[in-house]
Amino acid sequence: MRYCILMMDGRVEFVTMPSGYMYQLVALLRRLHKEIDKLTAASRPALPVVLGECSELELHDENSRMIPGLTYLTHLEQQFANVKEENYPLISLLTEIRALHAQLEYLAEEGVEG
**How do the domains of the chain map onto residue ranges?**
2-109
The enclosing H or E element of 53 equals strand 49-54
Q: Residue 113: which pLDDT band, with cuts at 50, 70 and 90?
A: low
pTM to 2 decimals? 0.89
For the chain, give the mean pLDDT: 91
CB atoms within 10 A of CB 52: 9
Q: Is a pLDDT exceeding 90 seen at residue 2?
A: yes
Cα separation, 97 vs 77, whole angstroms: 6
Largest CA distance in the chain: 45
Nearest to 6 by CA among 72, 52, 75, 57: 52
The enclosing H or E element of 103 equals helix 90-109
Q: Is a pLDDT exceeding 90 seen at residue 67?
A: yes
Q: Is a pLDDT exceeding 80 seen at residue 114?
A: no
Calculated CA dihedral for residues 21, 107, 17, 12, nearest 10 degrees? 130
Q: What is the pLDDT of residue 18?
A: 93
Q: What is the pLDDT of residue 40?
A: 87
Contacts of 103 (CB under 8 A, 6+ apart): 21, 24
AA letter at 75: H
The better pLDDT of the pair 54, 65 is held by: 54
Q: How confident is the model over 9-57, as pLDDT tens digits?
A: 888 999 999 999 999 999 999 999 999 988 888 888 999 999 999 999 9
